[in-house]
Amino acid sequence: MNVQWKDVMLEKVALGPVSARVYHGADCSKAPPVVLYLHGGAFLDTDAETDRPVAMSLAGTGAVVVAADYGSCSKNAFPKVLECAYSILAYLSNKRMDLGSKKSLLFVAGEEAGGNIAAGVALKARDLMPGSLDGQLLISPLLDPFMGTTSFRRADEVGMRQRWSEGWNHYLGFSGGVCHPYAAPCYCSRLAGVAPALILTAEDDPLRDEAFEYGSRLKKSGVSVRQHVFPAGAGWPSIYGGRSESSPKWPGEIARQFESFVQEMSVRHA
């Protein structure tokens, strides 16, 4: 599907106006899913003008994807970043008829640092507006501030260890956020009732183990979870700016996985 985009200002977000880039396919359905997309960047990237291939892939399925500039209003620091992202989601929940229709499903999605924030937003949505969020898409979510998993030992291979360390330090700062479940969802003790999740990672992804562990804990809490692991050599680290000797082979598969996830959620709501 041919994907188009336009830059807009979300004027009535609770915390103030937020700029966003809205992606949509040329032939969207009458009730396209609406996706709040939260970009990665190790909690350091605030560039809202950058092309977002993940957002393009999701829009290619027929979704309306709102890539919001959550970094400028929050400086990528907890808890402000969660407040900003959640306020955007609440805005989209009220405005879904303007973007699609009253039957449009609402999703939050993000990769790497954006995946962490998406997971935190899903928890906050469960607590403050239960039933409004239909699903969460977590792509190599950066969930563990202690960076102690076995797969994380490969972070140096893709050139991300120092950047992720700096990013966690910036994100948490002196807020004490490492103890808060919205800041580090992998340590949340109460996961029941959160929106169904699609979790994507790869065999050669340093963030694989923390994504696996979070998915397992969601399942044990009764949350519907779909997980897909890309094979090594699919160029996966490029999704968050890591080094890779292989060209990216993931955009089409991300679209297929998301499209199948949306279909499953649509059947649930039929």
What digits encode the pLDDT tens for the residues 96-121? 888 888 889 999 999 999 999 999 99
- Tell the CATH topology of 3-269: Rossmann fold (3.40.50)
Please write the tens of the pLDDT for every residue from 180-224.
889 999 889 999 999 999 999 999 999 999 999 999 999 999 999
Alpha carbon 101 to its chain centroid, in Å, reads: 22
Return d(Cα 3, Cα 190) in angstroms, integer.
38
Helix or strand or coil: residue 197? strand
Cβ neighbors of 45 (< 8 A, separation 6 or more) are 39, 71, 76, 113
**What is the residue-averaged pLDDT of the chain?**
91
pTM of the model: 0.95
Closest listed residue to residue 89, CA positions, set 63, 128, 53? 128
Predicted pLDDT at 177? 57
Domain residue extents for the chain = 3-269
Percentage of the chain modeled with pLDDT above 70 = 94
Predicted pLDDT at 136? 98
Return d(Cα 188, Cα 116) in angstroms, integer.
12
